[in-house]
Chains A and B, each alone.
Chain A
Amino acid sequence: MTSAQTMFEKIWRQHVITEEEDEALLYVDRCLIHEGSRHTFDQMDEENRSPVEPDKVFAFSDHYAQTTGRDNGLGAIADPKIRGMIELLTKNTKKHGIRHFDIDDPDQGILHVVGPEQGITIPGILLIGADSHTATHGALGNLSFGAGSSEVYHVVVTQTLWQRKPKAMRIAIDGTLPFGVASKDLILAIIAKIGHGGAAGHVIEYAGSAVDAMTIEQRMTVCNMSIEAGGRAGMMAPDDKVLDYVHGRPYAPAGADWDQAVAYWRTLPTDDDAAFDTEVSLNASDLAPMVTWGTNPEHTLPITGRTPAPEDAGTEADKSEIAAALDYMDIKPGTPLDTIAIDRVFIGSCTNGRIEDLRAAAEVARLGQAKVPAWIVPGSAAVKRQAEAEGLDRIFSGAGFEWRDPGCSLCTAINGDILQPGVRCASTSNRNFKGRQGLGSRTHLVSPAMAAAAAITGKLTDVRSLAKGN
C-alpha cells in the first residue's frame, strides 16, 4: 500500500541512491554553473578530479557579462578582473568538456532564463544550481535548488549530493490576480506574509486556482523568489501548460522519449490526500501592486500604503529593525510610498527578464517618457531577439528607456553595472539588501509594470492609476 504523497516526496524518493542516518545521497540530473563557480574549478584542480557526467553540467556567462557594446565581445569589458572571470569560465569549461553559453553565444543569457528556454530544465528532475535563485526552475514541476561551491563541486565530480530532507510547505493561492497586479506582486505579498526566513528548511509547493491560471513565465517569477522567503526550493505541478512549454525545446526529450516522459510526469502532481508539514493560504484577489520599503524582501507593502514607524512595532527588536531599515533607505516613518522619488529604474534579472515581463513594461512605457535613467536588460539573447521582433525595443527607446544586452546586470551589480552611493532605484530584481546594487545604493523591488510606471513619473507610482488615466 502506498500512502498519498506530495510531488516533492515523489521526486525526492526517485532520486535517493542510499541513506546514511538522516542524510540521503541523491542522484542529480542537471547542474548549472556560472562565472562565480571559479572556486568549484579551483577545487577540482587541487584534488585532480573532473566531471563524471560533463554533458549534465551547463555553464553560463551571465553574472559578469557586460550589457553594452557586446559586438566587441570581451573587448567591451574594461576591468581586467571582470573580464578575467568570463575568460576563466571559458578556459575551465573547455578543459572539462562542459557546454558553455558564453557571451558570444546566440543563446547566451541568465542561467535561470536560458535553462528553461533550452529545455535543459524539464519536469521530474533534480537540478542543482550554483545560485540561490535556482528555485526558478521548479515552476516546470521538478526539484531545483541552489548550493555553494563545495556542494556544486561534489555534484560535478560525483553527479550526486548529500542532503537532509527538507520539510514540505504548501502555499495555496486561490482567487484571481486583479488588474495591474503581477505575479511579482504575489510573491512579494507571500514573503511579507510569511517572512524573509518564513520557509526556511522547507520546499514550497505553490498550488491553487491562481497558480493554475498563470502562464509559465509568471510561475517562474513566483518560484524564483522562494529563496527570499527562506525556502529551499519552490515548485508547481507540471500541467498541460508546462508540457506545451517544454515540448520541442533543444535539450528536451523528443520522439518516443517524449511520450514516455509525459506518461511519467503526469504521475508527479501531489496526491489529493497528501499531507504537508506546513500550510499557508492567501487570496490573489485581495492583492494590490507591491513595493519594498526596507532592506530585505519581507519589508513589503502595497503601493497604497505608508512606511511603518518604529514605535508601532510590538517588540524592541522589531523597532530597531524598522528604524535601521528606514535610516539606510533614508525615508521617514509614515511616508506615503507613492510619493518617494527615485533616481533610476532597472527592468530585468532572472526574476523579471523574460518576454512577458518586457511586454508588461512596454505597455506602460508607451504611456509617457522616462524622467530618470531607465534600463531594460533582457534575460537572454533569445528574449532580446523576440522583443525586437515585436518592436518592444522601439517602444522603449521611443519612451527614453535604454535597451541593453542580456545578463544579470544591476540585480547583482558585479559586471560593472552599478549604482552610486545614495542612488534610489525602482528595480524588478529580487533583493533589496543593503548595498546589493552598489555600495550605499537603495533598492525598491517592484513588478515590471510598476518599474516602468516609476520611470515615467520619476517616483514610486501605482501603475493602476496610470493605466486607468489613459
Chain B
Amino acid sequence: MEAFTKLTAVAVPIDEPNVDTNQLCPTRFNKMPIGDPDYPRILFHDQRFNPDGSEKPDFILNQEPYRNAEIIVADRNWGGGSSRETAVYALMAFGVRCVIASSFGDIHRNNCLKNGVLPVTLPNETCIALRRQLRGNLEATITVDLESQTVTAPDGTQHKFDITPVTKRCLIKGLDDVGRTEEFQGAIDDFRARYRNDLPFQASIAKP
C-alpha cells in the first residue's frame, strides 16, 4: 500500500450528496484489470463522457484546474452502495489520494484505507465552506497533513480531523494488513484450537 503523509494539492468541490460507488465506477468497468490504460477514464465516467467518448464540458472534472485534482471535497454519505473496490482504484487512477466528506459509506471507507486513500470526515458546514472557497479561487489548494490530523483550507483556516491510531500508523507507513496479521499467528493458532473445541459445529463444515 502506498503511504500517505502530507498532501498539498488541487481540490475539486463535488456538491452532490450520496455519491454512490456506481457513479465512481459504473458496473461495466468492474471487469477491467487494475493496470488497464483506460482506468483513469473510469472515475465518474458516465457523468464525464458522452456515449461517443467525448468529454461533457459541464462536468467539473473536465474543467481546469480540476483535471489535476488530488483531493475531493464532497458532501454527506460519500461512497455508499456497492462494495466494489474498483471505485477506489478509479479514484487512484485519476490521481485522487484524499476525499473529504461529512460521512462515508462504511465499506468504501474501508476500501480507501486499504489502498492508501485517506477518507477525512469533517462537519458538513466545513465541507460546504471548503467547497465555497475552492469555487471562489481557482488557484486554491488544500493541505491535508495526516501526522497533525489537520486540513488547511485555502484561506489558511485549519480543521482538525479524527483518525484512530492504528489506521493512522498503517497509512503513514503504508503497512499491508496481511503482514500485520502474521505477527499475531500464535494468537490465531490458539484461537482456532479453542474455537474448534468450543464450537465445533461452526468451526467445521459438513461435507454434503
- B174: which A residues are within 8 A, CB to CB? none
Query: Which of A55, A154, A200, A431 is B103 in contact with, Cβ under 8 Å?
Result: A200
Interface string of B50-88 (1 = CB under 8 A from A): 010000000000000000000000011100111111101
- A258: which B residues are within 8 A, CB to CB? 201
Number of A-B contacts (CB under 8 A): 185
Query: Which of B15, B82, B108, B206 is A252 in contact with, Cβ under 8 Å?
Result: B206
The distance in angstroms between the C-alpha atoms of A302 and B88, with both chains bound, is: 35
The answer to whether B107 touches A147, judged by C-beta atoms less than 8 angstroms apart, is: yes
- Let me know if A146 is at the binding interface, CB within 8 A: yes
- B16: which A residues are within 8 A, CB to CB? 321, 324
In chain B, positions 105-126 with a C-beta closer than 8 Å to chain A are 105-108, 110-111, 114-115
The answer to whether A148 touches B22, judged by C-beta atoms less than 8 angstroms apart, is: no
- A260: which B residues are within 8 A, CB to CB? 200-201
Query: Given known contacts A150-B177, A324-B16, what 4 new A-B pairs fall within 8 Å (CB)?
Result: A148-B84, A166-B106, A201-B106, A260-B201
- B26: which A residues are within 8 A, CB to CB? 435, 439
Which of the candidate stretches A17-25, A331-339, A459-467 sits at the interface with the other chain?
A17-25
- Let me know if B166 is at the binding interface, CB within 8 A: yes
- Let me know if A342 is at the binding interface, CB within 8 A: no
- B180: which A residues are within 8 A, CB to CB? 162
Which of the candidate stretches A122-130, A364-372, A373-381, A395-403 sits at the interface with the other chain?
A122-130
CB B81 to nearest CB in A, in angstroms, measures 6
Supply 26 A–B pairs (Cβ within 8 Å), ascending by A: A14-B199, A18-B191, A22-B165, A27-B192, A27-B195, A36-B84, A39-B85, A82-B31, A148-B88, A148-B108, A150-B111, A151-B114, A158-B188, A162-B177, A162-B180, A251-B206, A253-B201, A253-B202, A260-B201, A261-B201, A321-B17, A324-B16, A413-B27, A414-B27, A414-B30, A414-B31
- Let me know if A108 is at the binding interface, CB within 8 A: no
- B31: which A residues are within 8 A, CB to CB? 38, 81-82, 84-85, 414
Closest to A23 in B: B166
The answer to whether B208 touches A250, judged by C-beta atoms less than 8 angstroms apart, is: yes
Interface string of B190-208 (1 = CB under 8 A from A): 0110010001111101101
- Let me know if A412 is at the binding interface, CB within 8 A: yes
The distance in angstroms between the C-alpha atoms of A413 and B81, with both chains bound, is: 15
Q: Is the interface of A mostly helix, strand, loop or mixed?
A: mixed
- A112: which B residues are within 8 A, CB to CB? none
The answer to whether A197 touches B18, judged by C-beta atoms less than 8 angstroms apart, is: yes
The answer to whether B178 touches A47, judged by C-beta atoms less than 8 angstroms apart, is: yes
- A257: which B residues are within 8 A, CB to CB? 200-201, 206
The distance in angstroms between the C-alpha atoms of A132 and B88, with both chains bound, is: 15
- A201: which B residues are within 8 A, CB to CB? 106
Which of under 10, 10 to 19, 20 to 34, or 35 or more describes the interface residues of A? Answer: 35 or more
Closest to B191 in A: A17
Which of under 10, 10 to 19, 20 to 34, or 35 or more describes the interface residues of B? Answer: 35 or more
CB A429 to nearest CB in B, in angstroms, measures 12
The distance in angstroms between the C-alpha atoms of A42 and B76, with both chains bound, is: 33
The distance in angstroms between the C-alpha atoms of A72 and B103, with both chains bound, is: 47
The distance in angstroms between the C-alpha atoms of A187 and B16, with both chains bound, is: 25
Q: Which of A14, A39, A324 has the most CB of B within 10 A?
A: A39
Q: Which residues of A contact B (CB under 8 A)?
A: 14, 17-18, 20-23, 25, 27, 29-30, 36, 38-39, 42, 47, 49, 55-56, 81-82, 84-85, 118-120, 122, 124-125, 130-132, 145-151, 153-154, 157-160, 162, 164, 166, 196-197, 200-201, 227-228, 230, 232, 250-254, 257-258, 260-261, 264, 296, 298, 317, 320-321, 324, 412-414, 431, 433-436, 439
Query: Which of B23, B30, B106 is A433 in contact with, Cβ under 8 Å?
Result: B23
- A25: which B residues are within 8 A, CB to CB? 181, 184, 187-188
- B181: which A residues are within 8 A, CB to CB? 25, 154, 158, 160, 162
The distance in angstroms between the C-alpha atoms of A386 and B104, with both chains bound, is: 41
CB B123 to nearest CB in A, in angstroms, measures 14
Interface string of B21-57 (1 = CB under 8 A from A): 0110011101101100000000000100001000000
- A250: which B residues are within 8 A, CB to CB? 206, 208
- A14: which B residues are within 8 A, CB to CB? 199
- B20: which A residues are within 8 A, CB to CB? 296, 431, 433
The answer to whether A436 touches B22, judged by C-beta atoms less than 8 angstroms apart, is: yes
The answer to whether B83 touches A146, judged by C-beta atoms less than 8 angstroms apart, is: yes
CB B48 to nearest CB in A, in angstroms, measures 13
Q: Which of B76, B202, B203 has the most CB of A within 10 A?
A: B202
The answer to whether B83 touches A147, judged by C-beta atoms less than 8 angstroms apart, is: yes
